[in-house]
Amino acid sequence: MSTSGPLSQHDSVPLTEVVDMRQGSVRVSGHLTVQGADLLRGTVETMRRDGHSTVLLDLQDLQAADSAGLQVLRNLRQSVAADGGELFVSPSPRGLTPRL
């Protein structure tokens, strides 16, 4: 996975999610930009409202991430923790401290 500078629209593969509401997990693929991370934030927030105290983000198929997308993940992890939950990220991209 690349974590270089901003991704141009021509280079960017849209972020896709496969959500497992029973398990509380989201498998992510494509490129993580600020827009994709906002989509991911909405998914995690929905899981939390539906009763999941722990959410797993599976980034194994993530192809690239820009710094804005990583910052959204950092903020999301902090907001989930502030609400008494945990956000696990596996594998952890460079620039995002692992919690596993």
| pTM listed for this prediction | 0.78
Residue with tokens 């008494």: 84
- What pLDDT, on the 0 to 100 scale, is given for residue 10? 42
Q: Is the domain covering 16-90 a CATH 3.30.750.24 domain? A: yes
What pLDDT is attached to residue 100? Answer: 34
Q: Which two tokens stand for residue 30?
A: 């494509």
What is the average per-residue pLDDT within 21-26?
Answer: 95
Indicate whether 82 pLDDT > 50.
yes
Residue 48 CB neighbour total at 10 angstroms: 19
Contact 88, 100 (CB under 8 A): yes
Mean pLDDT of all residues belonging to the chain: 84
Output the pLDDT for position 94.
60
- Distance of CA 56 to CAs 64, 78, 82, Å? 19, 14, 17
Residue 13: pLDDT over 70: yes
Relative to beta strand 16-20, strand 25-32 is antiparallel
State in Å, rounded, how far the first CA of the chain is from the last one: 19
